[in-house]
Amino acid sequence: MSSRRRFVKTGGLALLGIGVGGIPTFLVRAAETEKLSALYKKKKILVCIFQRGAMDGLMAVTPFNDAYLQAARPTLFMTAAKAAGDAQLIDLDGHFGLHPSMKAFEQLFREKRLAVVHGIGSPNNTRSHFDAQDYMESGTPFNKGTSSGWLNRATGLLGHDATPFRAVSLTSSMPRSFYGTNPSVAISNLQDFAIQLKGNPAAAEMAAKNFEDLYGHTSSSLLNKTGKESFEAVKMLQSAAQSNYTPANNAVYPNNPLGNALKQIAQLIKMDVGLEVAFAESGGWDTHFNQGAATGIFARNVTDLSDSIVAFWKDIEAYQDDVTVMTMTEFGRTVKQNGTGGTDHGRASCNFILGNDVNGGIVHGNVQPLAIDNLEDGRDLAVTTDFRSVFSEVADKHLKISNDGVLFPDWKGSKIGVMK
């Protein structure tokens, strides 16, 4: 495929070099197409997944030798002991155990492509979902007035031209992470990215022509430019047949919002439309009631999360070198279980980073024994890794964005080596 492209490109340009005279139009057109896609090709892609509601990091990746944790969680604690049967944690390193419902992650961890950072969180100790998400997404944990999101700033620092699909959030509304002046798109369904009129496709097609003409001739440069980009984007999506999409490698996406979002991100990646930053969400992590242990609400959530990510990873096998996936959640949950079989709002949690340039197979971070003296405010897993040190390292190593002063103003920390 790529050799054919190279041939067309060099051949086409060479022909152009000797004069336009007798060049077959199909070759010129092919060269132009190639120029267009060459512009978009071979970009690194960061996929961020926000787990809204605050994931219990101590249940996702459990320090299973910790007697304090065991005592604090009479019905929630699980062990890595064989005797536990179905409830047995997956022993990662003799110290941390992966929740059994995340067994899909195990292989990637063993292959050293998946890393965990434990004890990650925000220096601002708010336990409000809203505030903590706001701070994490703006990237400024002590300043609410920051108008932009960190991923929007990141796209502004990429230092090359954007396509209409450079930053895409597969959500119904623009996430806080994407707020800002750099162009970005929020769309829950790629099929909607077209001129359409329910029940009257012929009229829509006519109207599309009219619109393209009107926007091509308007005196407003903003509307003119964006209009052109819109129609270009529509054509990009149309040319890459998107209905009846079949994932590669028999990957099966779970039928849930995250699975659907990641499937569409995979489609965008394969279409070569210039995607560089993608965003998706996963909900239901606010487990105050009966969060369950080996089974139950939490188990279902982590199944959805890991199965979705693993299906995505299989699906984009040919692009894995270019893609890094990173999860994030606004805070963790109390070390002690509460009176209703759940956990309340805490401080640190853990996150997952997947990619071929990730320093994987390691649980990074610094989790101390959960004795009360080591807990933040006497109750929560302490934040020992600032989320910005991890986000900035991923942005730096994967997207080659090194301007931390713009990405995370006010932050002056060091990186912890989650990337190679």
Q: Which stretch binds other proteins (CB under 8 A): 6-14, 284-292, 309-317, 402-410?
A: 284-292
Q: How far is the CB of 207 from other proteins (least distance, A)?
A: 5
Q: Which H or E element spans position 1?
A: none
Is residue 181 part of the contact set for other proteins (CB under 8 A)?
Answer: yes
Q: Which of 198, 243, 246, 378 binds other proteins (CB under 8 A)?
A: 198
Q: How far, rounded to the nearest angstrom, does the alpha carbon of residue 199 sit from its chain's CA centroid? A: 35
Six token digits for residue 321? 């070198």
- Scan residues 231-260 and list those touching other proteins (CB under 8 A): 233-234
Is residue 341 part of the contact set for other proteins (CB under 8 A)?
Answer: yes
Residue among 96 and 165 whose Cβ is closer to other proteins: 165
- For residue 199, count CB atoms less than 10 angstroms from its CB and return exposed for 0-12, middle for 13-18, buried for 19 or more: exposed
Identify residue 223 by its one-letter amino acid code: L
Distance between CA atoms of residues 242 and 268, nearest Å:
9
Residue among 230 and 385 whose Cβ is closer to other proteins: 230
Is residue 51 part of the contact set for other proteins (CB under 8 A)?
Answer: no
Residue among 271 and 354 whose Cβ is closer to other proteins: 271
Residue among 178 and 387 whose Cβ is closer to other proteins: 178
Is residue 312 part of the contact set for other proteins (CB under 8 A)?
Answer: no
Is residue 140 part of the contact set for other proteins (CB under 8 A)?
Answer: no
Six token digits for residue 72? 């604090």
Six token digits for residue 271? 């279409």
Residue 25 neighbours by CB distance under 10 Å:
7
How does 312-350 read in b/e, with b if 16+ C-beta sit within 10 Å? bbbbbeeeeebbbbbbbbbbbbbbbbeeebbbbbbbbbb
Is residue 194 part of the contact set for other proteins (CB under 8 A)?
Answer: yes
Map residues 147-176 to x or -, x wherever contact with other proteins holds by CB under 8 A. x----------------x-------xxx-x
Distance between CA atoms of residues 117 and 388, nearest Å:
12
Q: Which of 11, 247, 283, 296 binds other proteins (CB under 8 A)?
A: 296
- Scan residues 206-225 and list those touching other proteins (CB under 8 A): 206-207, 210-211, 214-215, 218, 220, 222-224
* # chain residues binding other proteins, by CB under 8 A: 62
Q: Which H or E element spans position 237?
A: helix 221-239
Q: Which of 71, 203, 241, 318 binds other proteins (CB under 8 A)?
A: 203
Cβ atoms 58, 333 nearer than 8 A: yes
Q: Which of 289, 369, 372, 417 binds other proteins (CB under 8 A)?
A: 289
Task: Please provide the distance, in angstroms rounded to a whole number, between the alpha carbons at the two ends of the chain.
Answer: 30
Q: How far is the CB of 86 from other proteins (least distance, A)?
A: 17
Q: Which of 145, 160, 378, 412 binds other proteins (CB under 8 A)?
A: 145
Cβ atoms 43, 308 nearer than 8 A: no
Is residue 134 part of the contact set for other proteins (CB under 8 A)?
Answer: yes
Is residue 328 part of the contact set for other proteins (CB under 8 A)?
Answer: no
Identify residue 344 by its one-letter amino acid code: D
Distance between CA atoms of residues 73 and 88, nearest Å:
16
Is residue 10 part of the contact set for other proteins (CB under 8 A)?
Answer: no
Q: Which of 14, 90, 3 is nearest to 294 (CA)?
A: 90
Is residue 412 part of the contact set for other proteins (CB under 8 A)?
Answer: no
Distance between CA atoms of residues 186 and 280, nearest Å:
10
Cβ atoms 390, 413 nearer than 8 A: no
Is residue 196 part of the contact set for other proteins (CB under 8 A)?
Answer: yes
Is residue 366 part of the contact set for other proteins (CB under 8 A)?
Answer: no
Is residue 191 part of the contact set for other proteins (CB under 8 A)?
Answer: no
Is residue 226 part of the contact set for other proteins (CB under 8 A)?
Answer: yes
Q: How far is the CB of 405 from other proteins (least distance, A)?
A: 18
Is residue 139 part of the contact set for other proteins (CB under 8 A)?
Answer: no
Say what angle helices 103-110 and 297-315 make with each other, to 10 degrees: 50
Residue among 108 and 233 whose Cβ is closer to other proteins: 233
Six token digits for residue 51? 């787990």
Distance between CA atoms of residues 265 and 269, nearest Å:
6
The residues binding other proteins (CB under 8 A) are 128-131, 134, 138, 143-147, 164, 172-174, 176, 179, 181, 183-187, 192-200, 203-204, 206-207, 210-211, 214-215, 218, 220, 222-224, 226-227, 229-230, 233-234, 287-292, 296-297, 340-342
